[in-house]
Amino acid sequence: MAGRECYHCKQWVEEGEPHDCWTTTETALTADLSEDLRDAWDRLRETAAEFGDQRVYASHNSIMFSRKACYFFVRPKKSFLEVCVFLGRPLKAPQVRRSEASSKSKFYSIIQLRHRDEVEAPITDWLREAYEYADPSSGGSVDPPKKATRRPPKTSKRSTTRARKTTRSSRTPASRTKRAKRH
């Protein structure tokens, strides 16, 4: 029969058959978790829900938590939950696997959770900080505006050289006549 292979999920799709591999759900992403990971996920979800108004949705292999912008997401893996938190500063702690800049003003930090008991301070504090950072208009922390620095206008080497030559040649009339005789 006629059909095609989906370029994204590599699944064979028959002609006329509806296919949307981009759509996923939170339930589908957490269905195969072990009991420990399921407990950790439930506690993480409950903790985030206590922060206040937000949107929770599944996207590809992640479950996103966002206000005006995504403030953290979770990638369920076979042996751990990979939590990526967005803050205005890099995190330095034993729980943090990696922390790097994601833009000029944001840093992402990767944390791996394997058990429910790991969902406590300082991780919950970082999540709350990220929640507040994601919507500065509601009292979250905002980076102070950078002070504008004025730089002198750039001049090309050519114009600088010409300026030096004119300065030298205009110093004494004798130097001008010597230069004219050379040429």
CATH of domain 24-138: 3.30.1460
Q: What is the pLDDT of residues 5-53, one digit of tens each?
A: 876 677 788 888 877 666 678 888 898 999 999 999 999 999 999 999 9
Closest Cα to residue 64, out of 131, 133, 143?
Answer: 131
173: confidence class by pLDDT, cuts 50, 70, 90: low
- Domain extent listing, the chain: 24-138
Query: Does the pLDDT value for residue 132 go beyond 50?
Result: yes
pTM to 2 decimal places:
0.64
Angle between helices 123-133 and 35-51 (to 10 degrees): 40
96: confidence class by pLDDT, cuts 50, 70, 90: very high
CB atoms within 10 A of CB 82: 16
